[in-house]
Chains A and B, each alone.
Chain A
Amino acid sequence: MAQFVCRYRKGDELRWISHLDVKRTLERALRRAGLPLALTQGHNPHPKLSFGPPLPLGATSDVELFALHVTEAMDADQVKQRLNEQLPAGLQVTEVWSLPAYRKKETFGNIDLAGYEVALTDSIGREDLQRRVDQLLASPQLIVHRGGERPERTVDLRPLIHRLEVVEGDDGLVLRMRLRTGSHGGARPQEVIALLGLDEHEHVKRYHRTELSTRPSEDRRPGAARGKRWRRQRR
């Protein structure tokens, strides 16, 4: 039994398929690749796979993650090559590494930061954009209402925005942001765009994820993450 973690990119071709669609697509590609996948027990066995934080629909990314278990020893390059042969244009595994045998199932639970580059159309000027960014960052609170969630709730996004800056890209202005993500609460890049008073359809060309990482431990509230994890195991 060996566990591998794969980093993959989601390109333009498939930016309109959802996180669930990506899961299905990878699962089928793994089966086509004929890798000796470890299956779950039970009446309806399926491959043991786990996935990093979902990517918003419409976004591209270079840094997505998933983990798989195989029943025979293999080397990481072999996994990468065989899988890539079976992936459609728009999904590509860029890096595979194996985890040591003592590691439990990778769940990516410690990932809590996501970086994005949001390419903007030319319908907004640099100064105007910078003013909006400064104003947003100066706000002590940024309360948003999430009507789509059950139960409906309000969230303060300000502490979840770790970085927000305007840079000049190859093809117009780019908003570079680093946001909290994960099961302990996160901000979505679309929410930041809305907070800046921008319209997705008019002002945004492309969302692109550039980073998935873990905050340094001193930034975290002591015990918080551990408490959550304990509760999840109990369920």
Chain B
Amino acid sequence: MQISQFEALLARVNKPARYIDGEWNAVHKDWEAARVRLALLYPDVYEVGMSHLGLQILYHVVNSHPDYLAERCYAPWTDMEAELRRAGAPLTSLESRRPLSDFDVIGITLPYELTYTNALNMLDLAGIPPRAADRTDDHPLVIGGGPGAANPEPMADFFDAILVGEGEEALLEILEASHGGRAEALARLAAIPGVYVPSRYQYSPAGAGPVGAVTPVNGAQCPITRRYVADLDAAPFPTRQLVPYLDTVHSRVTLEIMRGCARGCRFCQAGAFYRPRRERKLDTLLRQAEEAVAATGFDEISLLAFTSVDHSQIEELVTGLTRRLGARGVGVALPSLRADAFSVAIANQIRQVRKSGLTFAPEAGTDRLRAVLRKQMSEEELFAAADAAFSSGWFRLKLYFMIGLPTETEEDVEAIADLVQRLLAFGRGALGPRRGRLQISVSVAGFVPKPHTPFQWMGQDETEALAEKQRLLQQTLRARAVKLSWTDPAVSALEAAISRGDRRLGAVIHRAWQLGAKFDSWGEHFQFALWEQAFSECGLRLSDYANQDLPLDAALAWDHIACGLGKSALRAEAERALGRGEA
């Protein structure tokens, strides 16, 4: 596209800085000198995609290699999409502003289910047929990855290959294999451990819902075993992180201190997909932090981990970082805390946290239900954490809960309200004359069963039941100091259906996209009616995927993906959870 033509589009859209190039630390490599050119796509708007560390790691790994080149592309917002379609202009990369169809490989990360229609839409905007079967030797290879690969089946129709596991571990092998004709390239890709080439497998459904087996057609690898970085400390980490012009979701240095989690909460898919728990060493982290601050000029550094205080040297790390960076006005942020006094003590060292308050995730209202979840947090610990927080000057707490959990009763839901009320009373007492500033934010989401977790078999509550539980909480939590927010039960239902989807859902996602579904995770764009129509036109029922309890002994649509615990271990965990409610 002519540059001036693109400039004319920029004049007509909101936040044109989403589409310009040249952020500090962006890489511009010689197009002609690169042997394989990769476009990295994030299926959400710039401000969200720029805050995603995974894509930056891959961008860094590929561009550090002399033979390869990586450029980026984020989902254009609806106004830009309309302008592109009106002008008949294809979607381009940020760096060289070349059409995506000029690249050899399109890599799309699948962060969560509600971005899937955006992935199709971006391919379509690039003039690339979304369905793999419709693509020819003239089109780039389309390769997926990210957490969505834990169950690749709903997106299997749209990808030539999907990497199961951590991208930095296998991406260079994938690029090395991505040359020549489509058929030869796919044959080479299918031989790489952890790479799933959907066209070499077939699905035999054994009833309604995701029950059935995916089997290799002619000797393709099975199971497909998740790839992961063995030594996180030595793994490549980008310290020259991209510095956006726009205010993005997280405009700061992200320092990944740990990957994986050993806590074993039974609902948590990330815990399974990022096993085992790995750490970076203190010295490595202090060096990377210094380098990243010097290379970006950000005024905040965030310590990324599922639970940052689980890092074995977290005290030394926080002390070291605040001592080195504090005088320069650089703050440290801990986005994930445990609910205990130790976490609060760590957080106390960090001035920056004071702005936002402290966040804890009790997940459930009673100790009994937390035991079913294997969530290692007692009410006693929560109150001890709150006590420590209030006595060291915090006024705001944020609490995350789920409703619709396995074995949950009405009492468990009422207990959420009761717990919040008691924390409120406790906080008022602890804060004394300053109690007017007390605020407790309560965020309630519907439970979504996820593949490769012990809860994968357990159906989600019907939408109406979730809504009823929500109403119960809304009626009982009416204090001025309580701010209640919740996820739309219809959103949770769709998330559950796609999360536990099989290959047949590809047609539903494709149809929903054709009907206009996109940016489904954005409240203003989510249209459940489009999805209901798509399911019904494809002759499938959403409830078979979202709400059905699956038989423990049946083959499941994602059993060919080996990640985390084996199926018999998951089954044993599920039985322990349901049978006795003990850990």
Contacts and interface: CB of A to CB of B under 8 A. Distances in A.
B11 A58 contact: yes
A28 B298 contact: yes
B296 to A, nearest CB: 7
9 contacts: A21-B17, A28-B296, A28-B299, A29-B297, A31-B328, A31-B330, A39-B329, A44-B352, A57-B16
A179 B536 CA distance: 61
Contacts of B295: 32
Contacts of B331: 44
B11 to A, nearest CB: 6
Interface residues of B, number: 31
Given A17-B20, A28-B24, A32-B294, A37 B246 contact: no
Nearest to A39: B329
Interface stretch (A84-92, A105-113, A147-155, A223-231): A84-92
Contacts, number: 77
B355 A44 contact: yes
A64 to B, nearest CB: 15
Nearest to A20: B247
A43 B20 contact: no
Given A43-B351, A88-B23, A32 B8 contact: no
Given A17-B17, A89-B22, 6 more contacts: A14-B20, A16-B16, A28-B297, A29-B24, A31-B329, A88-B23
A14 B19 CA distance: 11
Which of B10, B245, B247, B251 lies at the interface centre, i.e. has the most chain A CB atoms within 10 A of its CB?
Answer: B245
B478 interface: no
A158 B246 CA distance: 35
Interface in B227-268: 243, 245-247, 251
Contact of B245 (A21, A37, A46, A200): A21
Contacts of B328: 31
Nearest to B246: A21
Interface string B287-321: 00000011111110000000000000000000000
Given A45-B329, A46-B329, A31 B297 contact: yes
Given A45-B329, A86-B297, A90-B22, A24 B11 contact: no
B354 A16 contact: no
Nearest to A87: B24
Contacts of B12: 201
B297 A27 contact: yes
Contacts of A201: 8, 11-12
Contacts of B246: 17, 21
Contacts of B355: 43-44
Nearest to A201: B11
A77 interface: no
A61 B169 CA distance: 46
Given A44-B352, A88-B22, A28 B16 contact: no
B354 A43 contact: yes
A157 interface: no
A50 interface: no
Interface size class on chain A is 20 to 34
Interface in B199-253: 243, 245-247, 251
Contacts of B23: 88
A191 interface: no
A93 interface: no
A163 to B, nearest CB: 26
A25 interface: yes
A147 B23 CA distance: 33
A32 B245 CA distance: 15
Contacts of A14: 20, 22, 245
A18 interface: yes
Nearest to A206: B7
B354 A88 contact: no
Which of A29, A32, A201 lies at the interface centre, i.e. has the most chain B CB atoms within 10 A of its CB?
Answer: A32
A118 interface: no
Contacts of A39: 329
A13 B293 CA distance: 25
Contacts of A29: 24, 297
3 pairs of A and B residues whose beta carbons are closest in the complex = A28-B297, A31-B297, A16-B16
A89 B20 CA distance: 12
Contacts of B22: 13-14, 88-90
A30 interface: yes
A31 B11 contact: no
A31 B354 CA distance: 23
Interface string A172-201: 000000000000000000000000000011
